[in-house]
């Protein structure tokens, strides 16, 4: 199982990586077969790169390069296939200088983050071929989630099913996959080998978690999540049945919820920075919990030398915030700067004094503070080639509790799909790890203090928002489960709070449409899988 981290669009680089992995699998692991992830030549999702006129020639040259390597191992390679004026999501089995067979994916997902029907046509025929005397059936990703393709290969006499995937991570996804594979294996009476992509691609993170399941639905081999590598599966005949050799079973320890989410954030940040060629990251460190968690993730992803933290105090910034930001920066040993914004703010206000004459001081002045900070961070980004990490969590992004071109200014929002209540859980989890034994990486006072943007005297988040436990519960029902206002009220939430929260979500779509990309952790993040109109007359109700 080649659980590889590939780069979308880098067909030459990906091809070289496949060839190197195949050589290693043959020479070091004595493998007969190596299975790569779905669309491994382009990586996933290639999106509208699939529409480029040069794609066909590039894929043909990549496949020929693999054949020219003349490797004595069966390589299951995913790739786009142009055929008869149509485009297919396909795989080919290559051995030596021969293409033994090609399979076209039958079930094309077109929901949430997937839009394969925009690009691909559906195949209709099963694929079973003999390798080393074993009849091997082949399918691609979504084919596993519907019954038909598995039934087809079983009826065609397959003794083993290999399913190649580019299945993105979301919370509890491993459990969903294990339950599905158990059902399919028992139904077909076949062992199933499930090979998945690993790595970050824009907002998506692929967790790997490749596995092999016995005909009885028992996971016998489980590769670690969020780790690249080659993971062997040994199969043998037991009478007339092919099964996984028990003595070679290798089960990686599954992560708890907090560990899996944190690892996804780390991988998402690392790959976004490295694959896009940034020299490092810069973020505003406020002394609050969101920026504290973002800083810790960034250090774990990139190392302390690639992280710059900037405190930008104003008149309303408390001494506690200054102290906590300095403490955490020192604890993590990152570069740390203090850039006061009072003079910048005063310059803006002075310039606008005639325009604002006779008008009261209100949220506009608060937003100027946030925008001063955004200008400074973006200037550092331009000058030093650093990616600005924004620090808004999902709860804030949902209801618009953030300033466009202010604290939203940046290139990547680490916590974009992390509700505020989960922010606290992730901080507690990270502080419980062995490397924090000498003292918390995130100061306890940061976790325990009342959240505040500190844009006005004595301001705290709960002045303007419901308690975060209530807010996050309402948001999960509305954003992730598509419940109506009436449905949510029927579950016991106050009607006034529900209607206010849902209205805030709806009217702030324009902000989210302009927000930085961020790691997707749930089944409905603010990005590819939630597409609502900015201009809308939709009324809240049933």
**Catalytic site positions:** 38, 105, 141
Mapping DSSP to helix (H, G, I), strand (E, B) and coil, where does residue 381 land? helix
Residues 10 and 203: beta-carbon distance below 8 Å? no
**Alpha-carbon distances of 364 from 195, 341, 460, 510, rounded to whole Å:** 52, 16, 17, 18
Residues sharing a CB contact under 8 Å with residue 115, sequence separation 6 or more, in sequence order: none
Residues 373 and 284: their CA atoms lie apart, in Å, by 8
SS3 percent helix, strand, coil of the chain, rounded to 5, is 40, 20, 40
Whether 289 contacts 447, CB under 8 Å: yes
Within 235-393, strands assigned E span: 235-238, 241-244, 250-251, 280-284, 307-311, 335-338, 386-390
Total residues found in the chain within this entry: 542
Distance CA 300, CA 228 (A): 17
First to last CA, the chain: 48
Which spans in 171-233 are helix H? Answer: 173-188
Task: Give backbone dihedrals phi and psi of 373, rounded to 5 degrees, phi first.
Answer: -65, -40
Question: Where are the strands (E) in 106-179, listed by range?
Answer: 128-131, 134-140, 160-165
Residue 99 CA to residue 93 CA, distance in Å, equals: 6
Cβ atoms of 309 and 281 closer than 8 Å: no
Contact 188, 154 (CB under 8 A): yes
């Amino acid at each position: 199982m080649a659980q590889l981290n590939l780069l979308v669009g880098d067909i030459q680089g990906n091809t070289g990586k496949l060839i190197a992995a195949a050589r290693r699998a043959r020479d070091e692991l004595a493998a007969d077969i190596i299975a790569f992830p779905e669309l491994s030549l382009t990586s996933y999702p290639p999106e509208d790169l699939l529409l480029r006129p040069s794609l066909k020639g590039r894929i043909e040259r990549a496949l020929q390069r693999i054949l020219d390597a003349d490797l004595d191992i069966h390589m299951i390679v995913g790739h786009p296939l142009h055929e008869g004026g149509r485009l297919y999501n396909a795989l080919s089995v290559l051995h030596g200088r021969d293409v033994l067979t090609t399979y076209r994916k039958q079930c094309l997902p077109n929901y949430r983050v997937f839009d394969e029907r925009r690009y691909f046509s559906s195949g209709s025929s099963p694929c079973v071929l003999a390798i080393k005397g074993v009849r091997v059936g082949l399918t691609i990703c979504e084919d596993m989630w519907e019954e038909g393709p598995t039934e087809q290969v079983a009826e065609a006499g397959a003794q083993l099913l290999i399913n190649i995937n580019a299945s993105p991570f979301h919370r509890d996804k491993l459990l969903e996959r294990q339950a599905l594979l158990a059902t399919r294996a028992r139904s077909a009476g076949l062992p199933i080998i499930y090979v998945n992509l690993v790595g970050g691609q824009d907002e998506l993170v692929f967790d790997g978690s490749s596995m092999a399941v016995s005909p009885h639905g028992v996971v016998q081999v489980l590769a670690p999540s969020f780790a690249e590598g080659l993971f062997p599966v040994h199969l043998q005949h037991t009478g007339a049945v092919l099964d996984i050799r028990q003595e070679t079973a290798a089960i990686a320890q599954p992560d708890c919820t907090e560990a899996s989410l944190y690892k996804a954030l780390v991988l998402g940040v690392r790959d976004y920075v490295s694959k896009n060629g940034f020299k490092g990251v810069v973020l505003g460190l406020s002394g609050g919990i969101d920026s504290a968690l973002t800083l810790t993730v960034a250090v774990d992803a990139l190392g302390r030398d690639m992280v710059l933290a900037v405190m930008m105090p104003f008149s309303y910034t408390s001494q506690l915030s200054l102290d906590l930001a300095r403490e955490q920066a020192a604890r993590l040993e990152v570069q740390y700067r203090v850039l006061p914004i009072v003079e910048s703010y005063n310059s803006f206000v002075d310039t606008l004094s005639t325009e604002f004459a006779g008008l009261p001081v209100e949220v506009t002045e608060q937003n100027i503070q946030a925008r001063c900070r955004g200008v400074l961070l973006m200037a550092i980004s331009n000058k030093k080639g650093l990616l600005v990490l924004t620090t808004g969590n999902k709860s804030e992004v949902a209801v618009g509790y953030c300033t466009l071109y202010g604290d939203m200014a940046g290139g990547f929002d680490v916590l974009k799909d992390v509700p505020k209540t989960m922010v606290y859980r992730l901080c507690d989890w990270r502080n419980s790890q062995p490397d924090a034994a000498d003292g918390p990486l995130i100061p306890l006072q940061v976790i325990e203090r009342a959240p505040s943007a500190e844009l006005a005297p004595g301001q705290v988040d709960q002045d303007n928002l419901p308690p975060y436990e209530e807010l996050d519960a309402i948001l999960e029902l509305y954003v992730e489960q598509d419940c109506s206002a009436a449905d949510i009220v029927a579950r016991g939430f106050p009607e006034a709070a529900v209607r206010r929260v849902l209205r805030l979500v709806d009217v702030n779509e324009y902000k989210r449409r302009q927000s930085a990309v961020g790691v997707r952790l749930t089944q409905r993040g603010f990005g590819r899988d939630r597409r609502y109109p900015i201009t809308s007359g939709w009324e809240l109700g049933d």
